[in-house]
Amino acid sequence: MQTLVFTNDVAGELVRRIDEAQAYGTYALADSNTARLVWNRLVECRPELGAVKLIVIPAGDMNKNIDSLTHIWSELQGMGANRHSLMLNVGGGMVTDIGGFAASTFKRGMRFMNVPTTLLGAVDAAVGGKTGINFGGLKNEVGVFNEAEAVVISTCVFSSLPQMELYSGYAEMVKHGLLEGNEALSRLLEYDPVSADYDRLLSLLEESVGVKRRVVSEDPFEKGLRKSLNLGHTVGHAFESLAMEKGCPVPHGYAVAWGIVVELVLSHMQKGFPSDCLRRISDYVRLHYGTPAVGCNDYPRLLELMHHDKKNLDARINFTLLEAPGVVALDCTADENEIMTAMDIFRDLMSI
Ligand code: GLY
pLDDT score, position 180: 98
pLDDT score, position 1: 76
Calculate mean pLDDT across residues 154-161.
90
pLDDT score, position 193: 86
Confidence of residue 160 (pLDDT cuts 50, 70, 90): confident
Calculate mean pLDDT across residues 162-186.
97
Strand bridging mode 133-135 / 150-153: unpaired
Pocket test for ligand 1, best of 175, 230, 231 (most atoms within 8 A of CB): 230
pLDDT above 90 for 68: yes
Rounded distance from Cα 125 to ligand 1 centre (Å): 7
CB-based burial, 13-31: b 16+ in 10 Å, e otherwise: bbbebbeebebebbbbbbb
CB-based burial, 284-318: b 16+ in 10 Å, e otherwise: bbbebbeebebeeebeeebeebbeebebeeeeebb
Calculate mean pLDDT across residues 253-268.
98
- Within 8 A by CB and 6+ apart from 52, the residues are 18, 26, 27, 28, 88
- pLDDT tens-digit profile of 300-315? 999 999 998 878 888 8
Q: Which helix (H) or strand (E) holds 143?
A: none
Three-class DSSP category at 314: coil
pLDDT score, position 279: 98
Sign (positive or negative) of CA dihedral 275, 276, 281, 287: positive
Calculate mean pLDDT across residues 152-175.
94
Calculate mean pLDDT across residues 69-88.
98
Q: Which helix (H) or strand (E) holds 47?
A: none
Three-class DSSP category at 328: strand
pLDDT score, position 37: 93
CA distance 100 to 22: 20
Rounded distance from Cα 214 to ligand 1 centre (Å): 12
pTM passes above 0.85: yes
Ligand 1 nearest-atom number relative to CA 229: 2
Contact 172, 124 (CB under 8 A): yes
Half-sphere exposure (Cβ direction) of 132: Cα atoms closer than 13 Å: 13
Question: Which residue type occupies 19?
Answer: D
Q: Where are the alpha helices (DSSP H) in 233-350?
A: 233-245, 252-271, 275-289, 299-307, 336-349
Calculate mean pLDDT across residues 39-46.
97
Question: Which residue type occupies 212?
Answer: K
Question: Which residue type occupies 11?
Answer: A
Rounded distance from Cα 229 to ligand 1 centre (Å): 6
Ligand 1 nearest-atom number relative to CA 226: 5
Rounded distance from Cα 124 to ligand 1 centre (Å): 6
pLDDT score, position 347: 97
Question: Which residue type occupies 335?
Answer: D
pLDDT score, position 176: 98
Calculate mean pLDDT across residues 186-198.
90
Pocket test for ligand 1, best of 131, 147, 212 (most atoms within 8 A of CB): 212
Higher pLDDT, 75 or 157: 75
CA distance 120 to 157: 12
CB within 6 Å of ligand 1 — which residues? 124, 128, 130, 226, 229
Residue closest to 205 by CA, chosen among 85, 107, 121, 105: 121
CA distance 161 to 304: 34
Atom 1 in ligand 1: which residue has the minimum CA distance? 124
CA distance 323 to 209: 22
Atom 3 in ligand 1: which residue has the minimum CA distance? 229
Q: What is the distance in angstroms between the CA of the first residue and the CA of the last residue of the chain?
A: 45
- Within 8 A by CB and 6+ apart from 268, the residues are 274, 275, 278
pLDDT above 90 for 250: yes
Pocket test for ligand 1, best of 94, 96, 118, 124 (most atoms within 8 A of CB): 124
Pocket test for ligand 1, best of 229, 260, 328 (most atoms within 8 A of CB): 229
pLDDT above 90 for 328: yes
Ligand 1 nearest-atom number relative to CA 130: 4
